[in-house]
Chains A and B, each alone.
Chain A
Amino acid sequence: MRTNIAVLAVGCLAATAALAQKSASQAIEEYRAMLADGNPSELFEAKGEDLWKTARGPKKASLQTCDLGKGPGVVKGAFVELPRYFPDTGRVQDLESRLVTCMERIQGFDAARIASTPFQKDEQKNVTALATWIASESKGMKVNVPQRFPQERIAYQIGKRLFFMHSGPHDFACASCHGEDNKRIRLQDVPNLTKNPGDGIGFAAWPAYRVSNGQMWAMEQRLTDCYRQQRFPYPKFGSDALVALSTYLGVNANGAKSIAPAIKR
């Protein structure tokens, strides 16, 4: 956290030594806008689209029959309605865990192996690229995470409880930083995620390209890193906790315009 801020400070704030507090987040916004001119996420979008259409895996099949919730092969608008309940797996799934289901069932990949692969490595890199492209196909659409099935409503309730679960050496919960309006950690704004935080903020911004480490992150990596900073143990990829938390954040963000893939510090 501190390192990231330090990088940002060197990158954009150092010149203005006597920086007034009020303009700090403004300066960061301008910095982001400047970077957004050439958001490197476009490279990941192109890779993701290619991966979707290419025959791959032991079964040498493309993902073009993958059902992301709106029917086999329908990509446009799918992202803003995830996580959702899938009758064929009997589970509420987020975009990334659903993609791995498709990679297993359609392409013959080993889902457990992908789930245990670290982010930014091997097939996880491909999952992130796919998620980036799929998100981009819903850019500008409003978040509309469903609560039709009881499983989806239960996921929301479990996600809410996880959001407020204080534990670990620092007693932190998600709510410690994201439970109130207009708060900052150092100079970083931390949105209130107990309600709709607004267009393109929080849930409606990920996947995002992170300038500070030059990586594309989808939502599961974003949440995993929150848990790291929270001093919690490691949430498994595709776990019910990550999906429930995403459901809580997504439903709260319903109505917000998705800007994913976004660009972040």
Chain B
Amino acid sequence: MKKTAITFCAAVLAALAVVGCATGGRNLPTSAQLDRMTADVAKASFRDQGPVKTDRLIQDETNRDCSQAQVLGRPLDKARAKAIEAINLKAIKWPSDGRFLGDWKKGEQLAQSGRGLTWSDSAKTPNGANCYNCHQITKEEVSFGTIGPSLYHYGKLRGVSDPSSAAAKPIVEYTWGKIWNAKAYNACSNMPRAGHAGILNEEQVRDIVALLLDPQSPVNK
């Protein structure tokens, strides 16, 4: 049994161009070697399907470093986290015409929709914002997820009574930035980078900002 294990271990590891099998397979490849083996396995295991191509497996440095930290079971090094947040902050596209707020009713529709960008969605399917999958937002919608914090009373709790006022500006800008690129404020946030990744366009981000900050939105009632 042990001999067989050694033989097969040697064969597999040799095939993967990995050393360190001399102790009868008790020693696993190093973490870095396993990272490379994982990349090879991913490359060989996935294929294109409809509009979804295998280039989606290419990670940017944010995803790469956050994934790696999670594998090791410890938070990202503080300085590295700051650097990643800075990269993402710099990448935020602010509204081209200076308008941050759109139509909260359209925002609510977007928040409800989890559609878009899977291989079973047609490339023409408008993307949803996926908000309710993870957040409580309005009181009326009881089917909400709990992966993100509740956003009920988002504007009210932050004292925003007039989103166009100078006093509200920092909150309005933060809200835009958070939706555009959540990793600008929390390097390894679970939240997608809706604007940055092209899930939502500028107009749609405006509508989500309005859903959260418009005093007329049910979020703030």
Contact = CB atoms under 8 A, between A and B. Distances in A.
A19 B142 contact: yes
A233 B190 contact: no
A183 B34 CA distance: 30
A184 B132 CA distance: 10
A236 B119 contact: no
Q: What band does the interface of chain A fall in when counting residues whose beta carbon is under 8 Å from B?
A: 35 or more
Interface string B190-221: 10110001110000000000000000000000
B199 A169 contact: yes
Contact of B29 (A19, A154, A186): A154
Nearest to B198: A169
A92 B9 CA distance: 12
Nearest to B38: A161
Given A2-B114, A171-B193, A186 B21 contact: no
A184 B34 contact: no
A229 B119 CA distance: 9
Contact of A240 (B44, B53, B71): B44
Given A157-B28, A169-B199, A186-B133, A87 B71 contact: no
A150 B145 CA distance: 39
Interface stretch (A74-82, A125-133, A174-182, A252-260): A174-182
A186 B118 contact: no
B7 to A, nearest CB: 9
A232 B62 CA distance: 17
B29 A233 contact: no
Interface string B107-142: 000001111011110000000001011100000001
B197 A235 contact: no
A7 interface: no
Contacts of B198: 169
Interface string B15-31: 00000010001101100
A232 B52 contact: yes
A193 to B, nearest CB: 13
Given A228-B118, A231-B56, A151 B8 contact: yes
Interface residues of B, number: 62
Given A169-B192, A240-B41, A150 B5 contact: yes
Nearest to A172: B192
A153 B21 CA distance: 13
B45 interface: yes
Contact of A170 (B28, B42, B117, B120): B117
A217 B151 CA distance: 35
Given A166-B59, A183-B146, A186-B144, A241 B114 contact: no
A182 B147 CA distance: 9
Given A179-B70, A185-B145, A233 B57 contact: yes
A240 B40 CA distance: 10
Given A169-B56, A229-B118, A233-B54, 19 more contacts: A2-B113, A87-B4, A149-B8, A150-B25, A150-B26, A154-B29, A158-B37, A164-B70, A166-B67, A170-B192, A171-B197, A176-B147, A183-B145, A185-B145, A186-B133, A231-B56, A233-B57, A241-B41, A241-B45
22 contacts: A5-B143, A150-B9, A151-B8, A153-B25, A154-B12, A160-B71, A162-B41, A165-B38, A165-B67, A166-B67, A167-B57, A169-B192, A170-B192, A171-B63, A173-B67, A182-B146, A185-B134, A228-B120, A231-B52, A233-B46, A241-B46, A242-B45
Interface of B: 4-5, 8-9, 11-13, 21, 25-26, 28-29, 34-35, 37-38, 41-42, 44-49, 52-54, 56-59, 62-63, 66-67, 70-71, 112-115, 117-120, 130, 132-134, 142-147, 183, 190, 192-193, 197-199
Interface of A: 1-2, 5, 9, 19, 21, 24, 85, 87, 90, 148-151, 153-154, 157-158, 160-162, 164-173, 175-177, 179-180, 182-187, 190, 228-229, 231-236, 239-242, 244
